[in-house]
Structure 1
């Protein structure tokens, strides 16, 4: 008997797909406004994310380049300071070792 009732449920759902006029054209399925809004917002968010990601990648590349530039500037400043100290030390040693005439 339970299989018979499920068959009747299937038949009733199939009968709901037909127009009340008796035509065999199926009803058009109504879509909820919430689903439509959700899909529209998802599509807009996807379209809007592309330029944002491109700008982010550009800024990230620029930041990394500036970090490397600053690191190179600090390294060059340190090397120049060492060369300056070495040159000053050598110059003072030459002045001290020079014979006074």
Structure 2
């Protein structure tokens, strides 16, 4: 009951022929698709340092805004203290008796 060699050769040659026909069809990729994938990968890799720099600059900007707001507030408080001190000094000079 051994099988004939010609039957085995026919099956393997058919499988090889099918694999040869299918393989070029699977590997054929449009140039537009590869360009799109390549550009997407490059854009993703290039975006990381850009986002990191953006976050750093945004944090620095927010810190400077808080610093400026605190400086304006301190300047306003110093101006009020100066006005109050001057007013009290003038009142003391006016209440003094002249001998």
Q: TM-score, normalised by structure 1?
A: 0.74
Gaps of 5+ in 2: none
| Structure 1 SS opposite 2:97 | coil
Higher-helix-fraction structure? 2
Q: Which moved more, 1:43-52 or 1:3-12?
A: 3-12
Show structure 1 runs of 4+ deviating over 4 A.
Answer: 1-17, 22-28
Q: CA RMSD in A?
A: 6.7
Structure possessing the higher relative contact order (Cα contacts under 8 Å, 6 or more residues apart): 1
Q: How many Å apart are 1:9 and its aligned residue?
A: 26
Q: TM-score, normalised by structure 2?
A: 0.75
Gaps of 5+ in 1: none
